[in-house]
Amino acid sequence: IAEMNLTLVTEFLLIAFTEYPEWALPLFLLFLFMYLITLLGNLGMIILIRMDHQLHTPMYFLLSHLAFMDICYSSITVPQMLAVLLEHGAALSYTRCVAQFFLFTFFGSIDCYLLALMAYDRYLAVCQPLLYVTIMTRQARLSLVAGAYVAGLISALVRTVSAFTLSFCGTNEIDFIFCDLPPLLKLTCGESYTQEVVIIVFAIFVIPASMVVILVSYLFIIVAIMRIPAASRAKTFSTCTSHLTAVSLFFGTLIFMYLRGNSDQSSEKNRVVSVLYTEVIPMLNPLIYSLRNKEVKEALRKILNRAKLS
């Protein structure tokens, strides 16, 4: 009976940043500001792509889905973090924790797959320019994005089932900004080897698999660029720099967070990194793709000119 009682966790307590009560209001205002910028920036990017016909290309089609994913997974975590800061801790029911975990994994996995698809798109544009239009048809890009969503759903189901078949005992306090794997693993008791193996396999299929697609695509791109005249190299590679910047930021934080041993994980470091991939990177992505992209800047300029004339 005692063993059964260990698994009857009805809620989790999120206590991230509560040890610094004097920082609660400044952090709340900062994170709220960043979240609003994230929503406005990514929503603006989606609207801009839909309004400007010159941006109706496969690359921007994928970018609009990436912006949508950034809105979704930020909205799963940031409002919860704001509540924790405002209330100096927040109780989260077991069911809500499961739902949050599932949705964050779903949207985060799709983000990984979309970044890999964008690298493949750049490979086709640079290395197969004559076949690009015939390969990346409307049907093809719809199928690729649908595949990313299905793969994200499968990843989320496997990871969620694996995580929540674990037994939780002792304290139910999570020193984190939302229900995620590293802090949950610290609350487990009993045998968790099988679940941890499944979770590691999941991480291998999502993060490294996406990175392999990206690295191989850019290897071919670099080889192709080295074969063209030096004067044209910078212009050709400039179409890839925004994507490379976004990839470096996103996968850098995910590798730090999920591809380390559980014993090596520090709550303080994890919280900082989690803020990076839930708040900072989704906020920066629209800026990265607009400030470093002539087509986006031109589309924005045209829309602003139309607004002035009207």
Q: Which residue has the higher pLDDT, 52 or 109?
A: 109
Q: Return mean pLDDT, the chain.
A: 83
What pLDDT does 7 receive? 47
Whether the pTM exceeds 0.85: the reply is yes
What pLDDT does 262 receive? 53
Percent of the chain with pLDDT strictly greater than 90: 33
Q: d(Cα 195, Cα 242) in Å, to the nearest integer?
A: 37
Strand partners, 93: 11
Q: Indicate whether 267 pLDDT > 70.
A: no
Q: What is the pLDDT of residues 181-230, one digit of tens each?
A: 778 877 777 666 666 676 667 767 788 889 999 999 999 998 888 887 77
Average pLDDT, stretch 297-301? 78
Q: d(Cα 70, Cα 42) in Å, to the nearest integer?
A: 7
Q: What is the pLDDT of residues 120-161, one digit of tens each?
A: 999 999 899 889 999 999 999 999 999 999 999 998 998 888
Q: What is the pLDDT of residues 34-73, one digit of tens each?
A: 999 999 999 999 998 998 888 889 999 999 999 999 999 8
Average pLDDT, stretch 94-100? 90
Hey, what are 288's tokens?
């990265």
Percent of the chain with pLDDT strictly greater than 70: 87
pLDDT tier, 261 (very low <50, low <70, confident <90, very high otherwise): low
Average pLDDT, stretch 273-295? 82
What pLDDT does 2 receive? 41
Strand partners, 173: 13
What pLDDT does 237 receive? 73
Q: Indicate whether 295 pLDDT > 90.
A: no
What the chain holds in terms of domains, given with CATH numbers, is 11-296 (1.20.1070.10)
What pLDDT does 190 receive? 66
